[in-house]
Each structure stands twice: as C-alpha cells, then as structure tokens.
Structure 1
Amino acid sequence: MTAYQIAALGRGAARRSRLRRLTHGRGVLVVAGAVVAVADDGAVIDIVNRGYYPEHADSPDLYDGDLRLAEAGTYFRTAPVFRTDAPRHRWLARTVFVGLAREEDGHIVIRCYTVD
C-alpha cells in the first residue's frame, strides 16, 4: 500500500465539514464525516469518510517509520471516498483508500493508504 496525507492537497481550506458519531452496540463508535475541501489550485474535492472506533480495542502501538499512526489500545480505521471533477485530482475518485486515524491536539488526523 502507498501512503498519502490528505494534507498533500496543499494549503487549501475546508469549506464545510460535519462529523456524526453513532454508537453501534457493544462499545463500537461509528464515525461518519463529510468535508468539502479546496485544493491550492482551486479544485473542489468532496470527501466522505466512514469509520469504526471500538472502545478498548486490543491493538498495539502502530508506526509508519517514525510517524506514530495509532497508540496501543486504539483501533480507529476509516474508508474515505473522494469526488471531484478536477482532472488533476480525479485519480482520488478512482482509488480505494483505507485510513488510520488518531486524535492529536484536539483534531482527528487521518493517514490514508491506497489499496493496490
């Protein structure tokens, strides 16, 4: 798998975002979020992200090189889907991603990987 940072879109801004948290029994939190992002080149990219965050997951610390992706006891995975008409970013809409999410400084940070 290849790693991508959503931040690779540049210093664009999120126009709108919303996050829903739903409980799915037995301590599993279902997370659904939507963002309309604007890339540096002005392209508009819709991102819909769904994931699972079970409480007290039996997971080890997880690293990608020196980058900490998850801490022990946390399993937070997502599946982002991208939509855009911008030719430069259309590859996002044709690619399957999985994301490893973590909380950092009061924000959710997601590191995305392509599924080859």
Structure 2
Amino acid sequence: METSSMMPTLHHVGDLAVEVAAPLAIGETPQGLRRMVPIIGGQVSGPRLSGRVLPGGGDYQLLRSDGTMLLEARYLIELDDGALVHVDNRAIRRGSAEAMARIAADLPVDPAEIYCRSSPVFETGAPQWRWLVDSIFVARIVRQPERVMISVFEVQ
C-alpha cells in the first residue's frame, strides 16, 4: 500500500464564532496559572453545520511554566433544526512570550504568531447528527479580544 493512499484528508465542516466574557483569574496553582473564560454565545456556520453557540459554557485554561497554554472548552451548540450538541474542545496554544502576553491581556495578536490547534469531540442524541459522534475532528483556533474563531475539519 502506498503511503500517499494512507494520508488523511481534512473536510471543512464549519466555523464557530464563540463570544467570550472577560477571563476570571483563579490564580497560581501547583499545576500553573489557572483561569476560566465564560462563553456567552456565538454563531455556527459552514458547509455542514449551522446554528448558534448557547451561553453558559466555559473555557478552562492552564498556563504552564514553559509558557504553553492548555485549554479545555465545554459548551453547547444548537443547530438550525433544534438539535443540541455538546462540545468538548481541548486545545494547545503556544507562541512567543510577547504574543502570549498580548493574548493574556486580551489584546489583538496576529494569528501567524500563535499556534493554536484542538481536537473537538461532539456528543448528541440527534440521529441526523450521529456522524459528529462517530468522526474525528481537528480545528484551528484564532483568539480575538471578544471572541474565539474556530474552524473545524473532519478527518477522512
């Protein structure tokens, strides 16, 4: 079997514009600096997903001593047909100390200066959306001061 025939491909399924409130600083813990960013809403649009991000979720963040940020966001999206989908989006964000400091201060940062990728996992009981449960996804994340832009791709 040729290696190229085993290469996975990515199919864009949608973009999430997740609106966030100001971060809540929990403080320095034995694991690192911990904070939580409340999720207050947003939109979902794209070739295979359309709907809205419901308010009430959170993005739990841990800044390690090496400057890398580990993130775990949990929230709900409501698709246009009314189906509810739980999202568990674990990510890693790294960049120069200067770029990471600007993000921590909720200032704009050129996305080219930051590596932020995730592997979202979806859960739903809606049969028409079962493919979300039965597939693997990766995402590219761009942090803006009042929102997080997430482009989601299904791995084929």
Distance in 2 of aligned mates of 1:93 and 1:71:
29
Q: TM-score of the superposition, structure 1-length normalised?
A: 0.79
SS in 2 for 1:95: coil
Distance in 1 of aligned mates of 2:115 and 2:52:
29
Matched, 1:4 2:13: yes
Kindly provide the CA deviation profile for residues 26-69 of structure 1, in whole angstroms up to 9, marking residues without a partner as x. Answer: 00000110011211111110000000001319xxxxxxxxxxxx
Matched, 1:112 2:152: yes
Distance in 1 of aligned mates of 2:76 and 2:150:
16
SS in 2 for 1:92: helix
Distance in 2 of aligned mates of 1:51 and 1:15:
20
Question: Given the alignment, which residue of 79, 86, 110 partners 1:39?
Answer: 79
SS in 2 for 1:26: coil
The runs of 4+ residues in structure 1 deviating greater than 2 Å are 8-13
Q: Across the two proteins, how many residue pairs are aligned to each other?
A: 104
* Contact 2:51–2:77 under 8 Å retained in 1: no
* Contact 1:100–1:112 under 8 Å retained in 2: yes
